[in-house]
Amino acid sequence: MAVNASDTTRPDQPGRPEPDPGADPAPASAAGSPAAGAAPFRPGRGWLRAEVVIVLALSLGQSAVYSLLSLAQALATGPLSEQTAALNRSLRPDPWLDLLYQLLSITFALVPVVLVVALLTLTAGTVGRALRDLGMDLGRPLKDVGWGLALTMGIGLPGLAVYYLGRVLGATVEVVPATLDQHWWTVPVLIGHALKNALVEEVIVVGYLYQRLERLGWSPRRILLVSALLRGAYHTYQGVGPGLANLGMGLVFGEWYRRTRRTLPLVVAHTLIDVFAFVGYALLQNLITT
């Protein structure tokens, strides 16, 4: 029999339902709180649009705007082949202060990744489910690492070829992957930067963006194109060649996620590609000439 809530309220606490004496008590977790969490949040289209805009404005969308402006400025300055883009620079002259700033830079850059995992948790119901939806859980580590290695070889070598072709054609600036001074912590910090780049790009531009745009009803082809264009855009500070190379990488990675729903192999591949570039250059910079 349906009972109106107003018929079971306590006179001393208006609006609070009187518990049913015959009902089973709610299950409790180990901490004493109810075990069953709230139902997953079902955001409307307006919420999703605003959420995506805010997340991108705080992360790689912002990077894309600055990168395109940097390319425009470089084109206005002179030939791209005569210009340089330096990555992973020293932030302070003092080695210990530089290390601190490097670690803070990596840490704060990962905050948007934590944010999107939290937002996906709202709609998934649990953190575990959100990570599984992203393909970032550790349920199949060997397979994910294996595919990551395969993607590294399939993307890394063509990307390097496009870079050097761009240099020959004058459409790419000279990219200096690492200009950190040589310290005992240089290689670990460069590996940290590589992992940070991989997590930020693959979790946000692939896993998160795909899921949110799917909820908005976008077609797979449209999502793939937008994701790849965004990836290409925030690399245009390196010139036209790297922008196109990363657009191609975005098409491959985006299609991989659409077919497999796994982001972890993309993180592995991206990390390895950047480690080879950053650490390899740092160790061999005296032998490398462009």
Q: Is 87 helix (H, G, I), strand (E, B) or coil?
A: coil
Pairing of strands 84-86, 174-176: parallel
pLDDT tens digits for 75-122? Answer: 999 888 888 888 888 999 999 999 999 999 999 999 999 999 999 999
Has residue 269 been placed in a domain? yes
Residue owning tokens 């700033």 = 101
The residue among 268, 254, 190, 206 whose CA lies nearest residue 60 is 206
Has residue 11 been placed in a domain? no
pLDDT tens digits for 43-78? Answer: 999 999 999 999 999 999 999 999 999 999 999 998
Q: Alpha-carbon distance 18 to 259, whole Å?
A: 51
Has residue 35 been placed in a domain? no
Tokens representing residue 230 in the block: 């965004």
Q: Domain range spanning residue 79?
A: 43-284
What pTM was computed for the model?
0.83
Q: Residue 6 gets which letter from DSSP? A: G
pLDDT tens digits for 168-206? Answer: 888 888 888 777 778 899 999 999 999 999 999 999 999
Q: Residue 96 gets which letter from DSSP? A: H
pLDDT on residue 21 = 45
Give the count of domains, the chain: 1
